[in-house]
Chain A
């Protein structure tokens, strides 16, 4: 599962060239191709009464995006990278999904806007829809708070949240080839308090020990490819504890498998990956299970 080609999806206000630069550390693994994607929302150029389809506005938006991409592409071409570009009108999720399929990308990079609630809600829901529809891992880039300067290399020290699902185990497999990019991985499993409702301290300790042992096995696999890995067991509410662990371990991002919940449950009740992708301060890499519903 090498990351050779990534799709960099930008609206320009959420994800700029500095974000891309920080991800280019993936070149040390196998990244050699970056595809820029800008989706012009249909509403911006749609038919208006008395005006018709706003072709001139479409041209203006396309050329604005093109000028930016040319500048970025020149920089990447000069570094010996292969670069592609899509500037398209339509629905963000559909167009990104389509570009991913055409390009055979290994990773989708998308930003989370922090402008205001509605914008966040809009881009947030796009992210989750994208994660739901694709078999390709999605990296949700977040603007870095100034005081946390170690976040400028997001792949350096990831926190891998394991829930033993196929997707979370695939997330571990996804990190393993990134030797040289990933320096240290903190592998965490969050135990729910309800799982510890036992009548003896011994059985609780045994539960913890077993969980820890399983995590250590993952750490050993990481160590086998030269990545230092530490196991941690946290107890409590999953999202809060993952976030807490990320802070305590000074993680540079959170990596996890996408939810196996049914679509309608995920939409209405939310999920842990959704909460991490949308609300966490940390960049998040969400890895879907191998067989995503619409990519096969």
Chain B
């Protein structure tokens, strides 16, 4: 069965780019505009991989990542962060939330800073799904 990849990004251009790369590599893309919608689709579609932006309306990637990694049902789904926010800031934000009483979360499986080349994204997807 074709593996499903959930793309969560508020920028339609980035979603278009990511879904094109996913399809070209033989996978099935699913799209969400923000973390809230992303979580709904995650529960519904049970994707094999999540490509997640950080800065989005309604619910950011920081919170969605936390929800994925702290829920035993989803914790094993690999997550690639694709964002303009630096990896250092993302990890610091997770650390801050842990310090405020949240659960400890692992690092994402891969972290790509925007903009990204199609080959780079394709390699990250293949590696995460292998």
Contact = CB atoms under 8 A, between A and B. Distances in A.
Interface of A: 35, 66, 69-70, 73-74, 77-80, 82-86, 99, 102-103
Given A73-B55, A85-B57, A102-B57, A80 B93 contact: yes
Given A79-B96, A80-B99, 16 more contacts: A69-B55, A74-B85, A77-B60, A77-B89, A78-B89, A78-B92, A78-B96, A80-B93, A82-B59, A82-B60, A84-B58, A85-B10, A85-B57, A86-B57, A99-B57, A102-B57
A67 B112 CA distance: 17
SS of B interface (majority):
loop
B58 A74 contact: no
Which 3 residue pairs spanning A and B have beta carbons closest together? Answer: A80-B96, A77-B93, A74-B89
29 contacts: A70-B55, A73-B54, A73-B55, A73-B85, A74-B86, A77-B62, A77-B89, A77-B90, A77-B92, A77-B93, A77-B96, A78-B89, A78-B92, A78-B96, A79-B96, A80-B93, A80-B97, A82-B59, A83-B60, A84-B55, A84-B56, A84-B57, A84-B59, A85-B10, A85-B56, A85-B57, A86-B57, A99-B57, A102-B58
A289 B16 CA distance: 43
Nearest to A84: B57
B4 interface: no
Interface residues of B, number: 22
Interface string B40-64: 0000000000000011111110110
A103 B84 CA distance: 22
A79 B94 CA distance: 10
Interface of B: 10, 34, 54-60, 62-63, 84-86, 89-90, 92-93, 96-97, 99-100
A66 B114 CA distance: 12
SS of A interface (majority):
helix
Contacts of A77: 54, 60, 62, 85, 89-90, 92-93, 96
A105 to B, nearest CB: 11
Contacts of B100: 80
Given A66-B84, A73-B85, A74-B85, A103 B57 contact: yes
Nearest to B62: A77
A66 B92 CA distance: 20
A73 B92 CA distance: 12
Contacts of A83: 55, 60, 62
A74 B63 CA distance: 14
Contacts of B57: 35, 84-86, 99, 102-103
Nearest to B63: A82
Given A70-B85, A73-B55, A77-B85, A84 B92 contact: no
B84 A70 contact: yes
A82 B85 contact: no
Residue from B55, B58, B85, B99 having most chain A Cβ neighbours under 10 A? B55
Contacts of B56: 84-85
